Structure 1
Amino acid sequence: MEAKIKPLKNTLDIEYQRCSRCVLDTTVSDIWFDDAGVCKYCHIHDEMDRLHPLENMEKDLKRIVNRIKRDGRDKTYDCIVGVSGGRDSIHTLYMARQLGLRPLAVYFDNGWNTDIAVSNIRKATDLLRVDLRRVKADREEVIDLQRAFLKASVPDADIPTVYAIHSVLYETAAKEGVRYILNGHSFRTEGTSPISWTYMDSRYIKSVHNKFGSGVVRSFKFMTLWYLLYCVFIKRIREVRLLEYVDYNKKKVDEDLALDLGWVYYGGYHHKNLYTKFFQSFLLPNKFNIDKRKTELSALVRSGQLTREDAIDQLEAGAYEYDRSVVMYAVSKLGWKLEEWETIFYRAPRSHKDFRTYLPLIRLLRLPIWIACKLRILPYILYLKYAS
C-alpha cells in the first residue's frame, strides 16, 4: 500500500506563499494575506484575543461561572461537558470541578476510540466524582456515514462524528434542562480550522449521506438546523468555551493532568481516536495536501508557546508520519478490500461547494448572526469563520 499510494499533486494555480506571522500557507485555498503578509487566520486569532483578553480573564471567568451556577442552582447538573479522553476535554472537565461547577460528562462512542482515551475518561470521571453518560452509536450507521464521506472525496470526512458529538450534547442539555455546554476548544492552542479544510452543517452531511450512503441514522440524535434553533432560542442553551478564559499552556496542562488524574497522552493531534488518526495522518496529507499540524502549530506560534522558526522546522523535518497498521485497520473496519479502497482514494478531490449546504443562507444572514454573536447567543467564531 505504501508503494502504490502516492501524494496527489497540489493543484492550486497560485504562487506559493506562507504567512509572515504563522505557518499557514496557500495549501489553504480560502486563505488571504494583508499587505504585511499576515494571513486571514491570524486576523481571526487577533479578533478572538480582543474578545478574550488575558488581562481580564479572571474577572470574565468569574462572571461566567457565577451565571452558570445561578441558572443551574435547582438542577442536578449545571453544565454538560463532552469528553473524548483528549487533553482539552479532560482539562475542561477538571476546570469545571475546580471552579465548583456540577457537570454531567457525556461520551459519544463511535467505536473508534483508543483504550488510552477510554481509560482517561474513566479515571477523570471517577477521581472528579462526575457522572458519566455514554451514548453508543450503532457501528453500521457510523461506518455508513464515514464511507459516504470517503466516497464523496471531500476533506471533511471526520465531521460526521464531530457533528454527532454536538448533536448529542445539545440533546442531553435539552432533556436535562441544562443551559450550558462547556466546549473544550481553545483558539490559542488549536486555532481555527480553515473552512476549505473543515466545513460542517447538517444540510451538508445529509446531502453527502443521501448520495453516497443510506441517509439513515437512528442510534443517536442527528441535529437539524431547526432543532439547533429550538435549543438556542427556546431552551436558551449556550456553548461556553471555557479555555478561552484562561492562559492555556499545553505542556503545563499535560503535566497537571498526568499528576492529578493519571491522564496519558495518546501520541498525536487527536490521535485518541483511530479513525481520526487514519484520517489526519494519512488521508488528508496524501490525498488533499492538507497538513493539520499547520493549524495547531500556527496557534501555538500566535500565542507565544512556540517560535515560528521552530514550527517551520517541525514541518520541514518530514511529512506527517502515519502508521501503516492503522491505515490497514481502518480500511478493513470500513469494510473495503485494498483494491476497493484504492479506487476510492484516487477519486478526484471535491469540496463542500459540490453539495448542498447552509453556507449561502449563513452568509445571507450575516448581520443577524453577528448580532446574535455579539449578544453571546452564538459563539463569535461562528461569525468569523462562516459569515464574515
Structure 2
Amino acid sequence: MDDRKYQICTNCVMDTTDSAIVFDSAGVCDHCKGFYTQVEPNWHTDARGREQLDGIIERIKADGKGRDFDCIIGMSGGIDSSYLVYAAKEMMGLRPLVFHVDAGWNSQIAVNNIEKLVDGLGLDLYTEVIDWQEIKDLQLAYFKSGVPHIDTPQDHAFFATMYKFAEEHKVRNVLTGANYSTECIRNPIEWMYYQSDSIQLKDIHRKFGSRPLKNFPITSILKHKLYLPYIKGIKVERPLNYIPYIKSDAVKLLTERFGWQPYPQKHFESRFTKFYEAYWLPEKFGFDTRKVQYSSLIVTGQMTREEALEKLRVPAFDPETIDQDFEYIATKLGITTDELRGYFNAPNKSYKDYRNQRSIYTVGAKVMRALGMELGGKR
C-alpha cells in the first residue's frame, strides 16, 4: 500500500491497496476503464463468439481424431473449471480428458465436485500427485521469503504438470477455465506475482529451501508462451470467453444437475489457497482478493457495487476458527504454529526482492495486446 490518501473506485471496489491504481476526475479507476475500452468492445458471446468457437471446436475434433480424447481440461473443482468441463462435453461435443493435479491441499468438497462431474458426464479423470516432500519444502521457502504470493508453488505445479503431460502425450489442445466474465479485473502485480516465473521460484528455493527439487515440475514463461504453442503446436483455448457465462447460473445448473457444491469464495477449493487468500494476504499485506473478484462481477453486471461493499465489511476468514486453520496449515507443513505466526509477523517483502523476469512479462504482454491476442489487464 502506498502513502496516498485512501480512495476507492466510484464504479467498482478496487482501491488504493493497489498502489498502482489511477483514478479519473469522476473517481473511476483504470481497472474499470481498461475493461470498458479494451475488453468489452472486443468480447463477443453472441453469434460472433459462437462462430469463432465453432471454428476452434472443429479444429480440436480434427486434431483428436482417432484418439481416446481430443483435449485436456485442468479441473480444480472450482466453478470455472467445473462449468468448462460440462460445457465442453454437453455444449461443444468434445471428448475431454479431465486432468487434475493433487498438490496435497484439496478440500473434501473439491474432491466430491470433481467426482460428481466426471461420473455424471461419463468422462475419464487423470490425476497427477505432486511429490509432497518437495512442494512442502518449496511452500515453506515462500513463507520464509516474506513475499505475498505464497501460493505460487501450487499454481506453478498445476500448469507445469499439465503442459508436461500435453507435450509427452502429443495433446494438441488444452482448455482452461480462465475467462473475462469472472476474471476481467486482474490481481495487481504486487498482490500476486506471475506464478510461471521459474527464475524467481528457483531463487527463493535456493535461498530458503532445504532439499533439491528433483520431481517438482518446473516450467517457464518462454516455454509455455513460445516453445509449446509455436514449436510443439500445443494450443491453449479459453472457451468460456465465447459463450454466455454467468457465474450464478452456472452454479445453479451444476448444483441441480450434478449435486455440485459451491464454495464461500472463489479459489476456496484448496485449503491452502483458502487460508492464503482469506487470511494471509489481507491481514499481513492488506491485499483482499475479493475486491478483484467482486469488481469483475460488477463490471460484467453480475453483482452491484452495494452488494460487494456489504460483503467486504465482513472478513473473508472466520475469526472463530482461524486458530484451527493456523494449526492445520502448520501441522501439514511440519512446523509449529508459533513458527508459522513468526513468518506472519516477519517483515514483508515483494517479488522485487528476488531475481525475477518481470521485464520479459511486460514486453510479452505489450506484444500480445498489440497483436490482439490478449485484451485488457493491467499486469
TM-score by length of 2: 0.91
Alignment of 1:194-209 (within 5 A): 194-200=188-194, 201-209=197-205
Match of 1:73 among 65, 68, 93: 65
- Matched residues in 2 for 1:258 and 1:167: separation? 30
Map Cα deviations across residues 12-66 of structure 1 (whole Å, 9 max, x no partner): 2111111121100000122222343222222333322233223333222222222
Map Cα deviations across residues 230-265 of structure 1 (whole Å, 9 max, x no partner): 212211222211211122112111111112222112
Aligned to 2:3: 13
Aligned to 1:327: 326
Aligned to 1:290: 287
> Quick one: structure 1 residues 271 and 16, their matched pair in 2 at CA, closer, same or farther if it must change by over 3 Å?
same
Map Cα deviations across residues 277-328 of structure 1 (whole Å, 9 max, x no partner): 1111111111011111111110111011111122112212x22223322222
The one-letter amino acid of 1:172's match is F
Aligned to 2:44: 53
The one-letter amino acid of 2:43's match is H
- SS state of the match for residue 181, structure 2? coil
Alignment of 1:226-241 (within 5 A): 226-228=222-224, 229-241=226-238
Aligned to 2:217: 221
TM-score by length of 1: 0.89
Aligned to 1:268: 265
Aligned to 2:206: 210
Runs of 4+ with >6 A deviation: none
- Matched residues in 2 for 1:91 and 1:144: separation? 33
Identify the range of structure 1 (335-344 vs 281-290) with the bigger mean alpha-carbon deviation: 335-344
Contact 2:31 2:377 (8 Å CA) reproduced? no
Pairwise CA distance, 1:367? 5.3
- Matched residues in 2 for 1:385 and 1:215: separation? 36
- Matched residues in 2 for 1:367 and 1:243: separation? 23
Match of 1:242 among 226, 239, 243: 239
> Quick one: structure 1 residues 171 and 288, their matched pair in 2 at CA, closer, same or farther if it must change by over 3 Å?
same
Pairwise CA distance, 1:330? 0.6
- SS state of the match for residue 188, structure 1? helix
Contact 1:152 1:208 (8 Å CA) reproduced? yes
- Matched residues in 2 for 1:159 and 1:360: separation? 19
Aligned to 1:5: none
Identify the range of structure 1 (348-357 vs 320-329) with the bigger mean alpha-carbon deviation: 320-329
Contact 2:134 2:216 (8 Å CA) reproduced? no
Alignment of 1:101-180 (within 5 A): 101-180=94-173
- Matched residues in 1 for 2:293 and 2:129: separation? 29
Question: Is 1:304 the equivalent of 2:335?
Answer: no
Contact 1:188 1:302 (8 Å CA) reproduced? no
- Matched residues in 2 for 1:154 and 1:298: separation? 24
Aligned to 1:6: none
Contact 2:326 2:337 (8 Å CA) reproduced? no
Pairwise CA distance, 1:216? 3.1
Pairwise CA distance, 1:385? 4.0
Question: Is 1:22 the equivalent of 2:12?
Answer: yes
Contact 1:135 1:220 (8 Å CA) reproduced? no
Aligned to 1:8: none
Pairwise CA distance, 1:269? 2.4
Q: Percent identity?
A: 36
Contact 1:30 1:196 (8 Å CA) reproduced? no
- Matched residues in 2 for 1:217 and 1:232: separation? 26
Tell me the matched-pair count. 369
Map Cα deviations across residues 134-154 of structure 1 (whole Å, 9 max, x no partner): 110111111111111111111
Aligned to 2:30: 40
The one-letter amino acid of 1:194's match is P
Identify the range of structure 1 (169-178 vs 21-30) with the bigger mean alpha-carbon deviation: 169-178
- SS state of the match for residue 277, structure 2? helix
Segments of structure 2 that go 5 or more residues without pairing to the other structure are none
The one-letter amino acid of 2:242's match is Y
Contact 1:45 1:187 (8 Å CA) reproduced? no
Contact 2:130 2:157 (8 Å CA) reproduced? no
Contact 1:30 1:195 (8 Å CA) reproduced? no
Aligned to 2:77: 85
Pairwise CA distance, 1:224? 3.0
- Matched residues in 2 for 1:78 and 1:313: separation? 44
Segments of structure 1 that go 5 or more residues without pairing to the other structure are 1-10
> Quick one: structure 1 residues 239 and 176, their matched pair in 2 at CA, closer, same or farther if it must change by over 3 Å?
same
Question: Is 1:95 the equivalent of 2:94?
Answer: no
- Matched residues in 2 for 1:339 and 1:75: separation? 52
